[in-house]
């Protein structure tokens, strides 16, 4: 017998067990997540014969269209099925339940970030389509030296890095997305991300440049690797930011992420699909009747949609 509903705090031990089995994170991270990010009203579960078999989290976000219109949305996160119950389609059932629940509460779009390339096809069968893209560049010692030579003849000025608070970071971030299709977050999500970044040995950073501010969200993977989950600055200043990052967070390898519309001058960079979206109006008769005609049209936004914060 199956039961689909929102979670209860008494079920946290089972959810932690599943998280460990499915994602393999350290106990310290799992404990931190459930102490600081878990909300029972944002967590959906599927029970089989009274035992939780699948879980997912619904993170409230905003979908911002190029003209500035904000639409209520939700990002599905940490979708997991206990190994004993995998292969039965339970995750798909739970996602349908979660999306119906969201639609009934007035949420227009559901989005997610597939954990690996092979999952894009799975989520397409659940009604999702590609909508968000990242530009990435890996920089090692050799490439850093090449960038240093490039910077010698450039007109850019090194920005001044400082530790940014969640609200300030969010404000700077949004200033870079005027006329761009993107996902916006509440400051609380950056409060959580800041703690995660600090626990890793990095932080959220503001970057002062003449006439404007940039920002950067960093996590240290280990002693030799740093992941820049988000970098926002003017095109002409990207190389100087990369070079300054090497001074700020010494490592052997760096992985930089930025919106697809940035970084076209970085020769070694590449763009890949990152996030997917589902229009809940197309999948819920309740919503179709209340808001007729609202559609997500990929042709209106091209391939530059941006979803930067995925807690991946």
Model pLDDT, residue 148: 84
In whole angstroms, give the CA distance from residue 258 to residue 229: 8
Do 261 and 302 form a contact (C-beta atoms < 8 A)?
A: no
Q: Which tens digits make up the pLDDT trace of 201-224?
A: 999 999 999 999 999 999 999 999
Identify whether residues 159 and 264 lie together within a single domain: yes
Identify whether residues 45 and 147 lie together within a single domain: no
**Residue 139 is assigned to a structural domain of this protein:** yes
Identify whether residues 26 and 98 lie together within a single domain: yes
Q: Which tens digits make up the pLDDT trace of 243-285?
A: 999 999 999 999 999 999 999 999 889 999 999 999 997 644 4
Do 255 and 177 form a contact (C-beta atoms < 8 A)?
A: no
Identify whether residues 253 and 141 lie together within a single domain: yes
Identify whether residues 229 and 156 lie together within a single domain: yes
Residues in the chain where the model's pLDDT stays below 70: 152-157, 282-303
Residue range(s) defining the domain that contains residue 81 = 2-112
In whole angstroms, give the CA distance from residue 114 to residue 298: 19
Identify whether residues 79 and 144 lie together within a single domain: no
Task: Indicate which CATH number applies to the domain containing 250.
Answer: 3.40.630.30
pTM of the model: 0.90
Model pLDDT, residue 291: 40
In whole angstroms, give the CA distance from residue 139 to residue 141: 7
**Residue 278 is assigned to a structural domain of this protein:** no
């Amino acid at each position: 017998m199956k039961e689909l509903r929102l979670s209860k705090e008494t079920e946290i031990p089972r959810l932690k067990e599943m998280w460990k089995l499915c994602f393999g994170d350290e106990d310290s991270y799992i404990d931190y997540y459930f102490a600081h990010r878990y909300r029972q009203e944002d967590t959906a579960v599927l029970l089989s014969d009274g035992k939780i078999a699948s879980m997912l989290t619904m993170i409230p976000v905003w979908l911002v269209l190029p003209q500035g219109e904000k639409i209520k949305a939700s990002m599905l996160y940490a979708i997991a099925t206990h190994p004993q119950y995998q292969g039965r389609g339970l995750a798909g059932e739970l996602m349908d339940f979660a999306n119906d629940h969201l639609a009934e509460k007035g949420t227009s779009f559901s989005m997610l970030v597939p954990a690996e390339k092979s999952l894009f096809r799975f989520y397409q069968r659940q009604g999702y389509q590609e909508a968000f893209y990242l530009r990435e560049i890996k920089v090692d010692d050799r490439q850093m030296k090449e960038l240093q030579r490039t910077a010698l003849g450039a007109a850019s000025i090194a920005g001044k890095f400082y530790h940014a608070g969640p609200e300030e970071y969010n404000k700077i971030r949004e200033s870079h997305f005027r006329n761009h299709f993107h996902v916006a977050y509440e400051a609380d999500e950056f409060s959580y991300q800041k703690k995660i970044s600090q626990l890793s040995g990095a932080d959220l950073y503001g970057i002062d440049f003449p006439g404007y501010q940039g920002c950067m969200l960093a996590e240290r993977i280990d002693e030799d690797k740093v992941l820049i989950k988000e970098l926002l600055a003017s095109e002409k200043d990207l190389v100087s930011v990369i070079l300054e990052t090497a001074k700020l967070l010494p490592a052997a390898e760096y992985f930089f992420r930025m919106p697809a519309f940035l970084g076209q001058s970085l020769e070694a960079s590449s763009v890949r699909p990152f996030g997917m979206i589902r229009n809940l109006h197309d999948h819920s008769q309740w919503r179709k009747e209340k808001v007729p005609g609202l559609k997500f049209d990929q042709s209106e936004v091209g391939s530059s949609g941006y979803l930067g914060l995925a807690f991946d």
